[in-house]
Amino acid sequence: MNSILADGSPGKRSSDGERYPALSDRHGWVSYVFIAAGFLALVPILSTHRVTDFMIFCIFALSFDVLYGFMGRLSFGHILYLGTGAYAAGLFIRYVDKNPVAAVLLGVAAAVATGMIIGPIVVRTTGACFALINLAFNQIGFFLVLSPLREFTNGEDGLGVHAAQIGFFNTSSPSVMFWFVFACLLAVFYLLRQLTRSPYGLMVRCINENESRVRFLGYNTFFYKWVTFVIASGVAGLAGTLTTLNYKYVNPNVMDVHSNVGVIFACLIGGAGNLYGALLGGVIYMIISNTLPRYIQSWEMFLGISLLLIVFKFRQGVWGYLGDLWSYYQRKREQGKS
Amino acid sequence: MLKIDNINVSYGHAKVLHDVSLEIRHGEMGFIIGRNGAGKTTLLKSIIGLLTPWSGSILFQGQAVVGLSPERLSLAGIRYVGQEKKVFASLTVRENLEIAAYACQEPVEKAIDRITGFYPKMKKFLDTKAGLLSGGQRQILLVGRALVGTPKLLLIDEPTQGLAAIVIEDINDIMSDLKQQVSALIVEQNLAMVNRLADRVFVLKEGKIVSEIDDKSMMSDTRKLEEYV
Amino acid sequence: MIYTIMYGFTIGAILYFISIGLSLTFGTMRVINFAHTLIYTLGVYFLVTFMAALNGHIVLSGVLAVLCVIPVSYLIERFVIRKLYGQSVDYTFIATFAISLIGVDLIKRIWGVNPYPLSDPIGTYLTFFDFTFPVYRVLIIGIAIVLFFALEWFFRRSIIGKIVAASLDDEDGVRCLGVNVKRYFSIVFVLGSVLAALGGVLYAPISSIQPYMGHSILLLAFAVVIVGGMGNLRGTFVAAFALGMVMSVTARYWSQGAEVMVFIVMGVVLIFKPLDL
């Protein structure tokens, strides 16, 4: 497999400016400490509830990064899976059992199942087709919860959802929710990191670089793409279930097609292709979207303009930029030594 | 006519050509030989502007042309015929020539006369969709297209590749006729053709020119040439 | 039932106008231009403004509105699409989406968020075997058919059309003959935009005019392009009318499901005819 990647060294930049984790081999557990510290540091600045929001969005951003950063497919309808998870959990608690843990598991399962069904149709396409087909499915999902399933979902008005308390897990308490989401975030990050550095992850990156060559070598690229899609859906579903538990409410806006811009923006500005960028971008986007509407009226336009700027001038995102600075600094140091 | 001076060309991060230099004088037919993967196609593509060397210079009739677009170079008199023998499949033979004629503002009849001049059988196929032509006919169409507007330098990549022996003979004859009319730089694996037509042979190995032969006796000795390939 | 068919054909005609540009841009430059339907929306709003300025003279307003989108479309092509399309489809997509965001916002600022009402400009009806049809809808369908033949001629006969067809086969080959394909792609792009604006202008009197009208139409147009084949103009024609019919028939029995049914059809088509980009 090493012969496929023209440049398998860590920290190598591919032609789009995407960056593979340069620090992953060296930092190990330190990164978790950094992440944890980062989020904990935000708590006194904003409220516990807000930071929980941020973390949920970051989980969603991580799921999107798997699809976009690693597999190289831009989806414009990924929020469908978040919504599926959210509604599955919500409906479960409302109509079946108030156990929140079961609801989370069910929500993830629902998202995974949806991903498994839609996946085969969608992963066959690339580029703009992939983006828009996902958008279309997103639209279908949105429509479904809005209209035909209205008797269950309550349509536009949404469902109030109150989970019961299981042991110490009380969803009504902001701090309990905070720690639960925090744990989920770290767990997801750990799992995805292991995954992307495993042989499977390497394979997915190879497929991203040059799919036909991988296929010529005899691998079933379709299967790998499908699995990746399902994983991304599942993680998004997790984010969805957490949203429902956090807000105790779910309505069709959780699947709103327009919200996809947010996660795309987050991954772009943070830097796609390494999970850190998704986290960074997620936080940045959350901060922007929470503070800006208060000061700028047409913040959609602001989003549009910043997207244009990123696409033309700043493709590597903040994480990539930091990485560049780091390499530059290292090179200077080496030159100084010799 | 054409002077390439120390060009370096890369595909992404892979360096393909290292300090390549060669020169073709007016009226000369130069051949590039070498193994697959040596960089022959890259070299031709760099001349026509489909790839850009990141260092070195290319002079065509004294003018620096690195960085110019294929369109401009084509109008300046360089024509490129690629390896894949791609024609405009959904258009007819006549329409293929029309497009070439339109670009140089030459009347299409002149282009048609020229191609039927060196390959009379093409007359039958003028209104056939180019996609239906055989490999050899496509190659002839491509050469015919390239000659529209009387170019000064032809760059042809493996004209006889994949063609039947009889067709290769036809191509050889066409090339012979062309010899006095245009300068050319041709990539070829078919050493018999090289033998017959070359004024100068360049051997490309792993992205470097390892030898340049202008000694006619050397060229006719096919076995000697094989040593280099 | 016959009205359902008529309605289906009308929608089909409008979809056709919009999808041509998308299909062509996709076939030549391999990009989906999210801002395409922004042009559609813009055309409609220009129409509204001109109508107000010219005292309701709809034909002249329509023509001016369609002409006014040309510079906008050219700017988008020149400064965004051309810079990006060689590089990455994804970035072009995001960039054109960004333009669409900015554009919709500008529209909201200039024209406000509230829907504008316009009414059927002809208002008369044709009677045909006991059925009455609004002339206006018949006119739309008629224009679509004329357009189809005009485009067929254009692509088969004119030199521009041949160059575009050749570029679809072998773009580098065309360039190496001395033709500046980028210029022709621009022409195609602007042509596509003009047709989209035309579709918008024609549809405006019988639809609701609000800043987000482009979004829903984009997906439908995209479905048409997928079902009909990218870059395949005849396919686009057939697919547009077929999907228009799907919408119309679905609307008759299940009023909200019309759009969704189109996507379901698209999904089914994709299962059996997997795409390759």
Q: What is the CATH number of the domain that holds A83?
A: 1.10.3470
Domain extents in chain C: 22-222
Beta strands in chain A (DSSP E): 159-160, 249-250
Q: What letter would DSSP give residue A96?
A: T
- Chain segment A248-266, per-residue pLDDT in tens: 888 888 898 888 888 988 8
For residue C30, list chain A residues with Cβ-Cβ distance below 8 A: 127-128
Name the most confidently modeled range: A95-99, A272-276, B185-189, C91-95. B185-189
Helix axes C2-29, C36-53, angle to 10 degrees: 120
- The domain tally of chain B equals 1
**Of the candidate ranges A100-104, B34-38, C113-117, the one whose mean pLDDT is the lowest:** C113-117
Name the pairing type of β-strands C131-134 and B78-81: unpaired
Q: Does residue B217 have a pLDDT over 70?
A: no
Share of chain A above pLDDT 90, in %: 20
Structural domain that includes position B31: 2-212
Distance between CA atoms of residues C169 and C185, nearest Å:
14
CATH number of the structural domain spanning residue B124: 3.40.50.300
The pLDDT of A312-324, averaged and rounded, is 78
Contact across the interface for B71 and C180, Cβ inside 8 Å = yes
Asked whether residue B41 is assigned to any structural domain, the reply reads: yes
Average model confidence (pLDDT) across chain A: 81
Q: Does residue C126 have a pLDDT over 70?
A: no
Distance between CA atoms of residues A75 and A58, nearest Å:
17
For residue A6, list chain B residues with Cβ-Cβ distance below 8 A: 12-14
Size of interface A-C (CB pairs under 8 A): 112
Total-model pTM: 0.79
Residue of A121, A296, A301 best to disrupt the C interface, most CBs of C under 10 A: A301
Share of chain A above pLDDT 70, in %: 91
pLDDT for B216: 66
* Closest among B51, B31, B33 to B42, alpha carbons compared: B51
Asked whether residue B18 is assigned to any structural domain, the reply reads: yes
For residue A305, list chain C residues with Cβ-Cβ distance below 8 A: 98, 102
- Chain segment B57-90, per-residue pLDDT in tens: 888 888 888 888 889 899 888 999 988 888 888 8
Q: Does residue A105 have a pLDDT over 70?
A: yes
Cβ–Cβ < 8 Å for C126, C138: yes
For residue C229, list chain B residues with Cβ-Cβ distance below 8 A: none
- The domain tally of chain A equals 1
Can you tell me which residue has the tokens 């003279």? C57
- Chain segment A130-151, per-residue pLDDT in tens: 887 898 899 888 888 888 787 7
Contact across the interface for A139 and C101, Cβ inside 8 Å = no
pLDDT for B220: 63
The pLDDT of B158-179, averaged and rounded, is 83
Q: Does residue A224 have a pLDDT over 70?
A: yes
Q: Which residue of A has its CA nearest to B12?
A: A15
ipTM, 2 dp = 0.85
Instruction: For residue A265, give every residue at least 6 positions away whose Cβ sits within 8 Å of its Cβ, in sequence order, or none.
Output: A281, A285, A303, A306, A307, A310
pLDDT for A110: 94
Size of interface A-B (CB pairs under 8 A): 5
Query: How many other CB atoms are there within 10 angstroms of residue C113's CB atom?
Result: 10
Query: How many other CB atoms are there within 10 angstroms of residue C70's CB atom?
Result: 15
Distance between CA atoms of residues B65 and B53, nearest Å:
11
Contacts of range B19-27, beta carbons closer than 8 Å, 24 or more positions apart: B19/B56, B19/B208, B20/B56, B20/B204, B20/B207, B20/B208, B20/B209, B21/B56, B21/B209, B22/B202, B22/B209, B22/B212, B24/B153, B24/B183, B24/B184, B24/B185, B24/B200, B25/B1, B25/B183, B26/B1, B26/B183, B27/B1, B27/B180, B27/B183
**Higher-pLDDT residue of C243, A36:** C243
- Chain segment C38-90, per-residue pLDDT in tens: 899 888 888 888 877 777 677 788 888 888 889 989 988 888 887 777 677 77
* Closest among B175, B173, B188 to B146, alpha carbons compared: B175
Contact across the interface for C102 and A305, Cβ inside 8 Å = yes
Contact status of B85 with chain C (Cβ, < 8 Å): no
**Higher-pLDDT residue of C255, C264:** C264
Tell how far CA B143 is from the center of its chain: 9
pLDDT for C129: 60
How many residues are present in chain B? Answer: 229
Q: How far apart are the first and last CA of chain A?
A: 35
Share of chain B above pLDDT 70, in %: 93
Q: Does residue A6 have a pLDDT over 50?
A: no
Residues of chain A that touch chain C, judged by Cβ-Cβ distance less than 8 Å: 16, 74, 76, 121, 124-129, 131-133, 135-137, 139-140, 143-144, 147-148, 261, 264, 268, 298, 300-301, 303-305, 307-308, 311-312, 315
Asked whether residue B218 is assigned to any structural domain, the reply reads: no
How distant is the Cα of A317 from the closest Cα of chain B, in angstroms?
21
pLDDT for A17: 37
Average model confidence (pLDDT) across chain B: 83
How distant is the Cα of A207 from the closest Cα of chain C, in angstroms?
15
- Write out the H or E segment, with its range, that includes residue A117: helix A100-122
**Higher-pLDDT residue of A322, C191:** C191
Chains that touch B (3 or more CB pairs under 8 A): A, C
For residue A7, list chain B residues with Cβ-Cβ distance below 8 A: 13
Asked whether residue B225 is assigned to any structural domain, the reply reads: no
Model confidence at A66, in pLDDT bands (50, 70, 90)? very high
Model confidence at B219, in pLDDT bands (50, 70, 90)? low
Phi, then psi, of A326 in degrees rounded to 5: -60, -50
- The overall longest dimension of chain B from CA atoms, in Å, is 47
Among left, alpha and beta (phi > 0; psi -120 to 50; other), residue B68 is: beta
Q: Which residue of A has its CA nearest to B14?
A: A6
- Write out the H or E segment, with its range, that includes residue C13: helix C2-29
The pLDDT of A69-94, averaged and rounded, is 90
Q: Which residue of A has its CA nearest to C30?
A: A128
Cβ–Cβ < 8 Å for A70, A273: yes
Contact status of A7 with chain B (Cβ, < 8 Å): yes
How many residues are present in chain C? Answer: 277
pLDDT for A1: 32
Q: Which residue of C has its CA nearest to A142?
A: C260
Structural domain that includes position A99: 2-337
For residue B12, list chain A residues with Cβ-Cβ distance below 8 A: 6, 15
pLDDT for C276: 52
How distant is the Cα of A96 from the closest Cα of chain B, in angstroms?
57
Amino acid at site C80:
V
Beta strands in A63-215 (DSSP E): 159-160
Contact status of C162 with chain B (Cβ, < 8 Å): yes
pLDDT for C239: 92
Residues of chain C that touch chain A, judged by Cβ-Cβ distance less than 8 Å: 26, 30-32, 80, 83-84, 88-95, 97-102, 104-106, 108-109, 219, 222-223, 226, 256-257, 259-260, 263-264, 266-267, 270-271, 274-275, 277
- How far apart, in Å, are the Cα atoms of C209 and each of B210, C68, C213, C238? 70, 18, 7, 27
Residue of C87, C155, C160, C177 best to disrupt the B interface, most CBs of B under 10 A: C177
Residue of C80, C81, C94 best to disrupt the A interface, most CBs of A under 10 A: C94
* Closest among C244, C204, C227, C203 to C4, alpha carbons compared: C244
